[in-house]
Amino acid sequence: MVVEVLRLGHRGDRDKRISTHVALTARALGADKIIFTVEDEHVENSVKKVVESWGGNFKFVVEKHWKKYIKEFKKRGVVIHLTMYGANINEMMPEIKKIGRDKDILIIIGAEKVPKEVYELADYNISVGNQPHSEVAALAIFLDRLFEGKTLYRDFEDAKIKIVPSNKGKVVIRENQK
Amino acid sequence: MVVEVLRLGHRGDRDKRISTHVALTARALGADKIIFTVEDEHVENSVKKVVESWGGNFKFVVEKHWKKYIKEFKKRGVVIHLTMYGANINEMMPEIKKIGRDKDILIIIGAEKVPKEVYELADYNISVGNQPHSEVAALAIFLDRLFEGKTLYRDFEDAKIKIVPSNKGKVVIRENQK
């Protein structure tokens, strides 16, 4: 199962840090790729720097024709829009996991008001709670549940820096110390 | 079990939106209170507006003497610092849940570099993965696992607005429609 995240919309400076958190959360929790619909050099560089130091093959791409992208994706996978209006994640997750065994998953999260079309294009509109909170939180919980915590401590290929989990203090391994 | 979140540090404009997401995630996922160590009217107002419309008793407070606050808290509960350097959440969560049966929990998340003292004051330093991602994501996953998804769809007292989960479209109930 390949998991991609589509970050729909991005209002420049206003969303710079949230969008970076979205991208890094996608990577850390097990997604393979993030698609932005708006260029932002700052966000792109932040993400690429993390990949360079911390390893793995996480991809950052910009795709302005996002409707076309979604329609193409549907030929090989299932499209899930995360929204506070969506169906209960607690009830839907078993079905999503079953689908994920054979199909790729595209997760859509909006930065601003999401066009009605997205609700219609998506195979599922799913909520992570129906309270206003954060698209970063929603994405994190969705991926954590989808992967059942298994992605959190996986090894990243070609990492120049690694952390060894520790209850006290910081244990960091850098490439030249290996 | 009362759960509080201490947001340590906050760099004004730079952290405005992330800090708001931290606070709203704390509320939506089941925490009772957030403590900021720096005043920020914008964040405070955003959180208070959400509580007013969406209900519940979530508290927002500012506490500049955070070391004293942590030390006082330790008399009645356990202090957990979320950090990418910390021990593996997958391994630690059973122990944390057991403690939560009798004790309150204070979760600390830093905005910037966290002073060494925090690692020492905390009863546990726990990581949500050892990759750089987002304090919003870390808090969300920690709370989701602590409460086992049970807090996500709970009812908030005195809510003026409620959403009914739906796989297609938006179903919103406002007070005057009840």
Nearest to B21 by CA among B138, B104, B113: B138
- In whole numbers, what is the pLDDT of chain A averaged over residues? 95
Return the residue of A nearest to B23 by Cα. A133
Kindly state whether A165 is in contact with chain B, defined as any CB-CB distance less than 8 angstroms. Answer: yes
Assess whether pLDDT exceeds 70 at residue B14: yes
Chain B residues touching A29 at Cβ < 8 A: 129, 133, 137
Q: Other C-beta atoms within 10 Å of A108: how many? A: 24
Q: Nearest CA of chain A to the CA of B18: how many Å?
A: 6
For residue A171, what are its two tokens? 């244990």
Say if residues B80 and B108 touch (Cβ distance below 8 Å): yes
Chain B residues touching A89 at Cβ < 8 A: 149, 152
- What CA–CA distance (Å, rounded) separates B134 from B131? 9
Chain B residues touching A86 at Cβ < 8 A: 165-167
Task: Kindly indicate the confidence band of residue B7, based on its pLDDT and cuts at 50, 70 and 90.
Answer: very high
DSSP A61-113: EE-S-HHHHHHHHTTTEEEEEEEEEEEEHHHHHHHHHHHHTTSEEEEEEESSP
Bind-site residues of A for S-adenosyl-L-methionine: 82, 110-114, 128-135
Q: What is the mean pLDDT of residues A35-45?
A: 95
Say if residues B137 and A21 touch (Cβ distance below 8 Å): yes
Q: Nearest CA of chain A to the CA of B63: how many Å?
A: 23
Q: Nearest CA of chain B to the CA of A64: how many Å?
A: 24
| Residue B174: predicted pLDDT | 94
Q: Nearest CA of chain B to the CA of A2: how many Å?
A: 20
Amino acid at the residue A157: E
User: What tens digit of pLDDT does each residue of B120-136 get?
Assistant: 999 999 999 999 999 99
Chain B residues touching A153 at Cβ < 8 A: 88, 90, 129-130
Chain B residues touching A14 at Cβ < 8 A: 17
| Residue A13: predicted pLDDT | 83
Task: Kindly indicate the confidence band of residue A141, based on its pLDDT and cuts at 50, 70 and 90.
Answer: very high
User: What tens digit of pLDDT does each residue of A165-176 get?
Assistant: 999 889 999 987
Window 82-121 of B, Cβ < 8 Å to A: 84-90, 119-120
List, as own/partner pairs, every contact residues B95-101 make where C-beta atoms lie below 8 angstroms and the sequence separation is at least 24, other chains included: B96/B124, B96/B126, B96/B146, B97/B146, B100/B1, B100/B146, B101/B1
Nearest to B89 by CA among B123, B133, B117, B125: B125
Assess whether pLDDT exceeds 90 at residue B45: yes
DSSP B1-38: --EEEEEE---HHHHHHHHHHHHHHHHHHT-SEEEESS
- What CA–CA distance (Å, rounded) separates A105 from A90? 18
Encode burial over A6-40: b for 16+ CB neighbours within 10 A, e otherwise.
bbbbbeeeebbbbbbbbbbbbbbbbbbbbbbbbeb
Kindly state whether B169 is in contact with chain A, defined as any CB-CB distance less than 8 angstroms. Answer: yes
DSSP letter for A177, please: G
Say which of B22, B85, B137 has its CB closest to residue A163.
Answer: B85
- What CA–CA distance (Å, rounded) separates A9 from A112? 6
pTM of the prediction?
A: 0.97
Residue A125 C-alpha from the chain's centroid? 16
Q: Structural domain boundaries of chain A? A: 3-177
- What CA–CA distance (Å, rounded) separates B82 from B110? 8
| Residue B63: predicted pLDDT | 97
- What CA–CA distance (Å, rounded) separates B37 from B10? 7
Q: What is the mean pLDDT of residues A141-164?
A: 96
For residue B7, what are its two tokens? 């947001």
| Residue A7: predicted pLDDT | 96
- In whole numbers, what is the pLDDT of chain B averaged over residues? 95
User: What tens digit of pLDDT does each residue of A94-109 get?
Assistant: 999 999 999 999 999 9
Q: What is the mean pLDDT of residues A34-62?
A: 96
Chain B residues touching A169 at Cβ < 8 A: 85, 119, 125
Domain B3-177 has CATH 3.40.1280.10: yes
Say which of A127, A140, A151 has its CB closest to residue B165.
Answer: A127
Bind-site residues of B: 82, 110-114, 128-135
Kindly state whether B25 is in contact with chain A, defined as any CB-CB distance less than 8 angstroms. Answer: yes
Reported ipTM: 0.96
| Residue B57: predicted pLDDT | 97
Task: Kindly indicate the confidence band of residue B112, based on its pLDDT and cuts at 50, 70 and 90.
Answer: confident
The kind and range of the H/E element at B113 are none
Say if residues B34 and B2 touch (Cβ distance below 8 Å): no
Task: Kindly indicate the confidence band of residue A14, based on its pLDDT and cuts at 50, 70 and 90.
Answer: confident
**SS3 of A38, please?**
coil
Nearest to B156 by CA among A130, A82, A83: A130
Assess whether pLDDT exceeds 80 at residue A177: no
Window 60-89 of A, Cβ < 8 Å to B: 84-89
- What CA–CA distance (Å, rounded) separates A126 from A130? 10
User: What tens digit of pLDDT does each residue of B46-76 get?
Assistant: 999 999 999 999 999 999 999 999 999 999 9
| Residue B177: predicted pLDDT | 57
